Amino acid sequence: MYLEEHDDAQITPRAVEHEGRSALLLAGDIGYAKFCDRAVEDVVACIGRLDILVNNAGEQHWNDDIRDITDEQLKPTFQTNVFGMSYLTQAAVEHIAAGGAIINCTSVTMYEGAKGLLDYSATKGAIKTFTRSLSENLIETSIRVKGVAPGPIWTPLNPMGGAPPEKIATFGESTSMTRAGQPNQVAPSLLFLACDDSSYMSGQVLHPNGGTIVNG
């Protein structure tokens, strides 16, 4: 699922098909419940069931001053990061069988704070709390709910307005490893949480963040 990056989106099915599997591309805005409902219906119609839901969509904007955060920024940030996660989960949960997993992506900013990412960090705090609460809500269904809280990772989110140019130049240098990570250094955490090797875990968050020590 993706918003509107049609050319970039073609990379994913090619990678999936290279592994001998099939992929379904769905373009739309998860900030709207109707799209989430339709997308889940399309997936179930295509493959017959759901085993795993990964809530990974994110929106981020940098502001040095809280007074610069407008409604035009604040509402879409929460709509994508929090509402979209809730809408997708509501649509998907009835199709996920016992033993399935829901994985939510939060951020190291939830634990450390980020003075220029006030609204984004607030949404990531909501995601962590949602993860813990949903885990308790679904525990009797044997659906495991977990989270991943990456540190600074090189993705299009940052250079496309998520941070000013001067921050991009030193992105990740504040971590213990003094560098930013790559998406393939986060992916193993999601793989572990999705598979049966983590069958005794729920409500927990993993931290691929370059060695930054956080609590919880």
Q: What values do phi and psi take at 117, rounded to 5?
A: -125, 60
DSSP 135-187: HHHHGGGT-EEEEE---SB-STTIIIIIS-HHHHTTTTTTSTTSS-B-GGGTH
* Selected catalytic residue, list 2, 87, 111, 120: 120
Structural contact between residues 147 and 205, judged by C-beta atoms closer than 8 angstroms: yes
Is 120 tagged catalytic? Answer: yes
Count CB atoms within 10 A of the CB of residue 127.
24
Structural contact between residues 122 and 95, judged by C-beta atoms closer than 8 angstroms: no
Length of the chain, in residues? 216
Partners of residue 52 on adjacent β-strands? 101
Look up residue 11 and give its two tokens: 């990379």
What residues act catalytically?
Answer: 120
